[in-house]
Structure formats: C-alpha cells, structure tokens
C-alpha cells in the first residue's frame, strides 16, 4: 500500500457522542488512515473515545479540534462531503466506491483532501454541504439508509484502501486507453473487415454489429492494442484487395 | 434490489458485548439484510443491544439464539466464515468483494447461506473455521487489521448490497462467459492467424503475444463472442490457404 494517508483528512462535525469519535479513529486506522479533525465535538478528549478506539489511541492523540468546518478544511484543495439521500439540493453525487477511486487518484497530486462527516442526528446542513466540491453517498437500503457515523467512516476508508490496492494492480497498463473517437474508428474498421471477408450477413447485420460494438467497448483497448488491431485488420484487407 | 435477504443468515458466535449485537442488527438492516442468528451470546436480549440497534429492533426481535454453530447453520447449503489474517491453517480465502459476489450469485439457487462472525477478542477458532466452505478476509491495514465485529458485518453486508445492484446491471450478458480452455483456443487461433497474415514478427513474437493474451483475458468473451471471433479467424485463414 502506497497510500499517502497524511494527505487524507477525516473531518467530523459537531459530534455528539465521544464514543463515536473513538470508533471513527479505530475505523480509520484499520484502513491505514490517521489524520482526524474534529469540529466542535461536544466532549473531547474523552475516556469513552479512548475506550472505543481500540489500538488507535495515536489517531485520537493527534486529532486536531477546530471551531468551524472552514478552518478544518482551510488547507484542502479537494473537499468531499458525505450525504444522506433525498436532499432537496441538487448536487453531483458519487457513490462510495467512485469517490474512493477519485480520492485515491488525487493523492498523487500531493494536495490535501478533506472528507466531511456530519452530526449524528442530522448529517450535514445544506450550507455545510456547499463547502464541498463533491458529495459522497453510501449505497444502502432505501427503507433504512441510516448508517451510524463510524460505520460510514469505516466504509469510506475501506473503499479508499481498496482503491489504493486496485489502482496499484492496474499499473500493468503501459499505454493510455484510446479515446472514444479512436475506439469508434477501430470498431468501424473491424466491421468493414468482417463484411469484406463475408462473416457478417449483409442482409441482417444489425444484431452482430451491436455485439461487436459492445465487445470492443467493454474491452477498453489501450493505444498499443488498438494500433495492433488496426494493423491486423489492414493486413487482412490488403491481402483481399 | 432483488436481494433475497431471507436466504442470508448472519451468525454471531459467543458475542461478549450486547451493544455489538445491536450495532450488527443496525448494520444489517442498513444494507437490506434481516436474518440474525446468535450462538451463545453472553447477554441477550439486552437494553444495550436495543439502544445501539437504531431502527433495527425488528432484526433483534426476530433473531434466533442457538447453543452451537452447527445448530445455527444446519439448514445452510453454503457457509462462509470471516477470518483474521495470518492464520496457520491454509484455507481458500476470498476478499469481501469476491465473497459478496459469490454469495449474491448463490441466492439465485434459493438455498440458505450462512456467514459466521467470531467472538470479539479472538475471532473464530480453527475448529469453527472448518465448519465453513469458504473464508472471507476484509482487506485492511496490515499493521492494525483489527476491525470491530459490527464494522466487519457492516462491510460484508455493504458488499452484498453492492453485488446485488452490480450484478443486476450485468444482466445484459445473454450468453455465459467462455471457460479457460475455450479462451485459450481462441487466443491460439488469433495468434496463428496473425502469424499467417504476417502481422507478428516471427523473429521477435514474444512481447506482442503476451499483449494479445492479456487483451483477450481482460475481455472475458462470452460464448457468442468467442464463436463469432472463431468464425472471423477461420474465414481469414480459409481465404489465405
């Protein structure tokens, strides 16, 4: 794991129960994060927080207390806020996995990222949400989507840890993916070739053509693969003409 | 969500703190699961459990208490156990996401699935783990992978909910994926054809061949796609001979 965990700042706002602060500290540490900011916690420091933090007392000890969200996120270039469902406010919303991938990619810019979690009983107000660039929603049971704050933190931190290992595993990609125009050219070239060698029935081409499109779109070829395939198709066409 | 949540049985073993049982009930309900089995809980029913269950008192009310794991999983065809790292015992281990996909797919068989979570301070013993068909490990910070039991349940249930919506989105797949033997035959056929039409340099074929293998493996073609590609390649070879 090369996760730059110091760049990721977990911000808890107006937390009522100090036990939740301890549980959040433990949730963070189990996923490799350590930087905790507390905006107006009702009680802190607290024995309840320590009791629930497990072996993450270092996260509590290094936590910083702020008087406002603005102050807590002052140094952050990117700000995410976790949001409950069905808000009247319209805002771009990412799910936890998408947000985690986005956050992990941003750590490479070496700039600070804050993720804000609201008060236990009401989440974040619209004014508070507006401080964020992006909203995160955790997929949940629509009939009861009410996760405890430490549970929400656990899931977000877990997705960030997964993103860090998934994206490391993708480092085999030595060429960038083709853009949509290049992809379309490859698909057209493939279909032309298939017609040339009579494997597409010109009377009823529709179904197979949509399958070919779906197949190449799913593949998401990189530039080297697309270039090889174009060469392959050109060689076939040259020999046929 | 078409999740058949009654088929998924969450089993907590020897739970010490009743508050954890309440937190597990809430974690389950937020992700659409409701069937909870308790093996020798130290204290149950309990006000602490109710206090931490939020709006999931129905899950607690319907929970069943058993004297042994065997009794709790008696009706289950598939049994998963959650495991900490670095066990001496060698056992097939899936991560939470893989396991959730596996579990969700099995709900279509209409057979019961149990997921066992061990005691807070020691997890499951080797004897208990051996009751399971498969072990689940939650990816975590190797220096402190110690998740609270309710956090572990939250993550597993969250991954199951995600699997249910992801796999529904994949229902466009109208043919099964090819098996590894069929995939290998397709790759070999493609390479042979590429050699026939001189797009692979026979003096230095290695790098491009490994790229071709990687490309088709990533594609995971279904049987219709593979069959079309085989026809495409045969048509080329026929014209060249």
Average pLDDT over residues B46-57: 96
Task: Please give the CATH number for the structural domain made up of B5-169.
Answer: 3.40.1280.10
pLDDT tier, B89 (very low <50, low <70, confident <90, very high otherwise): low
Query: What is the 3 state secondary structure string of chain A?
Result: CCCCHHHEEEEEECCCCHHHHHHHHHHHHHCCCCEEEEECCCCCCCHHHHHHCCCCHHHHHCCEEECCHHHHCCCCCEEEEECCCCCCCCCCEEEHHHHHHHHHHHHHHCCCEEEEECECCCECCHHHHCCCCEEEECCCCCCCCCCCHHHHHHHHHHHHHHHHHHHHHHHHCCCCECCHHHHHHHHHHHHHHHHHCCCCCCCCCHHHHHHHHHHHHHHCCEHHHHHHHHHHHHHHHHHHC
pLDDT greater at residue B218 or residue B192: B192
> Which residue among A151, A218, A239 places its CB closest to the CB of B154?
A151
> Quick one: pLDDT at residue A186?
95
Which of the two residues, A186 and B166, has the higher pLDDT score? A186
The domain over range B180-240 is classified in CATH as 1.10.8.590: yes
Q: Determine what percent of chain B is predicted with pLDDT higher than 90.
A: 64
Compute the average pLDDT of residues A49-67: 97
Average pLDDT over residues B171-183: 79
pLDDT tens by residue, B7-21: 999 999 999 999 999
**Nearest-CB residue to B228 (from A142, A211, A224):** A211
Whether residue B56 contacts residue B89, with contact meaning beta carbons closer than 8 Å, is answered with: no
Assess: ipTM above 0.90. no
DSSP 8-state secondary structure symbol assigned to residue B145: -
Nearest CA in chain B to A165: B139
Note the pLDDT of residue B178.
86
Indicate if the pLDDT at residue B42 is higher than 90.
yes
What percent of chain A clears pLDDT 70, i.e. is strictly above it?
A: 91
The CA-atom distances, in angstroms, between B123 and each of A134, A148, B70, B82, B146 are 38, 23, 17, 8, 10
What is the predicted pLDDT for the residue at A46?
97
Give CA–CA dist A117/A96, Å, rounded: 13
pLDDT at A4 over 70: no
Structure tokens at A19: 């036990």
pLDDT of the residue at A1: 47
Of A34-43, B26-35, B173-182, B210-219, the one with minimum mean pLDDT is B173-182
**What is the token pair recorded at A183?**
């992809």
Structure tokens at A31: 């996923």
Which residues on chain A are in Cβ contact (under 8 Å) with B97? 162
Mutation site for A-interface testing, chosen from B5, B17, B31, B231 by largest number of A Cβ within 10 Å: B31
In chain A, the residue whose alpha carbon lies closest to the alpha carbon of B199 is: A232
* Angstrom distances, CA of residue B222 to CA of A190, B116, B173, B209: 18, 34, 8, 21
Are residues B197 and A235, on separate chains, in Cβ contact within 8 Å?
A: yes
Tell me the pLDDT of chain B averaged across its residues.
89
Q: Do the Cβ atoms of A162 and B150 come within 8 Å?
A: no
Q: What is the pLDDT of residue B235?
A: 93
What average pLDDT does the segment B88-94 reach?
A: 71
What tens digit of pLDDT does each residue of B23-40 get?
999 999 999 999 999 999
C-beta atoms surrounding A88 within 10 Å: 5
Element (H, E) at B17: none
Per-residue pLDDT, B171: 54
Across the interface, which of B97, B172, B240 has its CB nearest the CB of A239? B240
Q: What is the pLDDT of residues A65-112, one digit of tens each?
A: 999 999 999 999 999 999 865 555 566 789 999 999 999 988 988 899
Q: How confident is the model at residue B148 (pLDDT cuts 50, 70, 90)?
A: very high
Chain A hits for B1, Cβ within 8 Å = 141-142
Average pLDDT over residues A172-176: 72
Contact A236 B197 (CB under 8 A): yes
More confident residue, B204 or A126: A126
pLDDT value of residue B87: 54
pLDDT of residue B83: 81
Instruction: Check B30 against A199: CB less than 8 A apart.
Output: no
Structure confidence at residue A168 as a pLDDT band (50, 70, 90): low
Pick among A5, A141, A210 to test the B interface (most B CBs inside 10 A): A141
Does A169 score more than 60 pLDDT?
no
User: Does the beta-carbon distance from B144 to A55 stay under 8 Å?
Assistant: yes
Domains of chain A: which residue ranges?
5-172, 180-240
Instruction: Flag the least confident range among A55-69, B50-64, B114-128.
Output: B114-128
Q: What's the mean pLDDT in B112-139?
A: 91
pLDDT score for B1? 47
pLDDT at A185 over 70: yes
Q: How confident is the model over A176-181, as a mean pLDDT? A: 84
Q: Does domain A5-172 have CATH number 3.30.70.100?
A: no
Contact A150 B151 (CB under 8 A): yes
């Amino acid at each position: 794991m090369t996760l730059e965990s110091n760049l990721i700042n977990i911000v808890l706002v107006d937390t009522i129960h100090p036990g939740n602060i301890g549980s959040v500290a433990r949730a963070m540490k189990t996923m490799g994060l350590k930087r905790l900011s507390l905006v107006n916690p009702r009680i802190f420091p607290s024995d309840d927080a320590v009791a629930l933090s497990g072996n993450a007392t270092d996260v509590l000890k290094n936590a910083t207390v702020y008087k406002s969200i603005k102050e807590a996120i002052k140094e952050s270039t990117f700000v995410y806020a976790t949001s409950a469902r069905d808000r009247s406010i319209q805002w771009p919303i990412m799910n936890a996995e998408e947000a985690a991938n986005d956050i992990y990619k941003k750590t490479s810019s070496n700039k600070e990222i804050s993720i804000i979690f609201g008060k236990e009983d009401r989440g974040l107000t619209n004014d508070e949400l507006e401080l964020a660039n992006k909203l995160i929603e955790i997929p949940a049971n629509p009939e009861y989507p009410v996760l405890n704050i430490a549970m929400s933190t656990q899931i977000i931190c877990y997705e960030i840890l997964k993103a860090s290992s998934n994206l490391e595993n993708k480092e085999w990609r030595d060429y960038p993916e083709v853009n949509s125009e290049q992809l379309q050219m490859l698909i057209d070239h493939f279909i032309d070739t298939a017609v040339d060698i009579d494997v597409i029935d010109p009377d009823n081409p529709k179904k197979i053509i949509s399958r070919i499109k779906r197949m190449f779109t799913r593949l998401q070829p990189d530039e080297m693969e697309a270039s090889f395939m174009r060469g392959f198709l050109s060689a076939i066409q040259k020999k046929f003409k």
